[in-house]
Amino acid sequence: MTSAIKFFIFLWIVSAIFCGCSRRQTNSPLAIVHVTVIDATGAPAQSDMTVLIADHLIIAIGPSRSTSVPRDAQVVDARGKFLIPGLVDSHLHLTGAGEPSGSRDFFIPLLLANGITTVRDMGGYLESLVPLRRDIQQGKRVGPQIFFAGPYLDGSPPSFQPSLVVSNAVEAAEDVHTLVEQGVDFIKVQSILSRDAYFAIAQAARREHITFVGHVPDRVTAAEASDAGQKSIEHLTGVLRACSSDEPRLMREQFLAGPKNATAQTSHDREMAWERELLQTYSEKQAAALLAKFVDNETWQTPTLILLHNDAYPGPETDSSSDPLLRFVPRTIAEKWKQVRMAQDKLVAPADFDVREKLLAQSMHVVGQMQAGGVRILAGTDSAAPYVIPGFALHQELVLLVQAGLSPMQALQAATKNPAEFLGKSKTQGTIEVGKTGDLVLLDGNPLEDVGNADKIDMVVVRGKVLGRSALDELLKGAAKFAGTN
């Protein structure tokens, strides 16, 4: 046994002795041997390696031929398999799945079964999120590490619940302060905020030393949001508009009142005409200037391409009869999704699909330009938006990111290394390195050859608990059973 391994095992034993009050029992070390390590640092894959994990930390990484395994270790022979860091979904809504049990019986099992060990909850009910996070931290429930925003800050009437309506600087200061006291990790802003309210929230967040993230409000430009210090922009809100050579006119037209006798169909037609203008006025020069601003201001992007893809292609093909993954979705939620889609279908003309397809293609083009230009990207899904199925959607997102122009390694980093850096956790997680958290995913296929192989999961290690394939299958069975009765 090398001196380095002996040293880390010594530290683990000492930690177990002095921290026994927080853990009734310390598990044996875990040794994953003869595995190909893809550490997500950007380095090439390393074959025939041994990774030792003890007390939820990686204590050693080395060639299997020269790395000794502790006698009491649980050994996993991973010949022909690939080890990556635990995955992160950087945009989802745990309590949007039907509380009090949806987040626990629908959402979390699907996340774990798909190798997701950390999430950024982008808006939800604190009365559910706080105890859920506490139960996971205390080991009462197996689940991902959760970072959350709590209620949205939005204008009136708010787009979604739970929301706090902010219309002036006083409300902005009070609401931001209250959320900070309640323990949120960041502030989430929404689309209907007025300009005054938005910039007041930005000031309040700076005073409270907390980041704010979310949508670019309709009445604010993406460049202004970046300059105001918004740390991440979700769904590319405001980005294509900011890439237009005529953004001021498009903003004015976005808020022009329609005719008094307007119908739902004529309003939809006006919206589609506006989107055609958005495409026709796209400017590579404007886009380059915007992306340079994002780089200078360190404004991150969570494109949620899977959400944009689903919005671009509403129709019968997404009905429950054609998507086998819908067996994991509670019937009440799936029925709501179907109703939303049917309402969309009533207004969509065949020509609209061409516009939506081009908007999606333009969005993906911009994401590729972002990656090439140094804009930081996070992989997120907006689960559980209609037909964005928790867990599985992240793997669909990785595929779309590669189609947009990212390499498989860059897409993988968008779900591992990048979110750790965004969350200020890069010293403890996000890559496979000694001293970092041992949240890991063992794959049957090489994701650097095909990022789609990231869903070929053989084992997940989360918070020191090993979930083999049989345990993951049980999670899926439980989710499907819950879905069938709810």
> How far apart, in Å, are the Cα atoms of 120 and each of 91, 124, 185, 423?
6, 11, 9, 9
Are 36 and 46 within 8 A, CB to CB?
yes
Nearest to 49 by CA among 31, 65, 68, 63: 63
Q: Which CATH class is domain 91-422?
A: alpha beta
Report the DSSP beta bridge partners of residue 189: 153, 214
Q: Give residue-wise pLDDT tens across range 190-245.
A: 999 999 999 999 999 999 999 999 999 999 999 999 999 999 999 999 999 999 99
Of the candidate CATH numbers 3.30.930.10, 1.20.120.160, 2.30.40.10, 1.10.3720.10, the domain formed by 3-85+433-484 belongs to: 2.30.40.10
Alpha-carbon span 144 to 104, nearest angstrom: 11
Q: Give residue-wise pLDDT tens across range 87-134.
A: 999 999 999 888 888 999 999 999 999 999 999 999 999 999 999 999
Question: What angle do the packed helices 305-312 and 392-404 form, to 10 degrees?
Answer: 90
DSSP string, 17-75: HHTTTT-S-PPPPEEEEEEEE--SSSPPPEEEEEEEEETTEEEEEEETTT----TT-EE
Residues 137-164 have a mean pLDDT of 97
Alpha-carbon span 198 to 163, nearest angstrom: 14
Burial 30-58 (b: 16+ CB within 10 A, else e): bbbbbbbbbbbeeeebbeebbbbbbbbbb
Q: Give residue-wise pLDDT tens across range 162-197.
A: 999 999 999 999 999 999 999 999 999 999 999 999
Question: Residue 256: its pLDDT value, please?
Answer: 77
Express as a percent the part of the chain with pLDDT over 70.
92
The region of weakest confidence among 65-74, 184-193, 337-346, 388-397 is: 337-346
Report, in angstroms and rounded to the nearest whole number, the Rg of the chain calculated over CA atoms: 23
Alpha-carbon span 69 to 355, nearest angstrom: 58
Nearest to 405 by CA among 373, 377, 379, 367: 367
Does residue 18 surpass a pLDDT of 70?
no
What is the pTM (predicted TM-score) of this model?
A: 0.93
> How far apart, in Å, are the Cα atoms of 274 and each of 227, 244, 279, 450?
26, 12, 9, 37
Q: Give residue-wise pLDDT tens across range 278-310.
A: 999 999 999 999 999 999 999 999 999 999 998
Are 302 and 232 within 8 A, CB to CB?
yes
Q: Where are the domains of the chain?
A: 3-85+433-484, 91-422
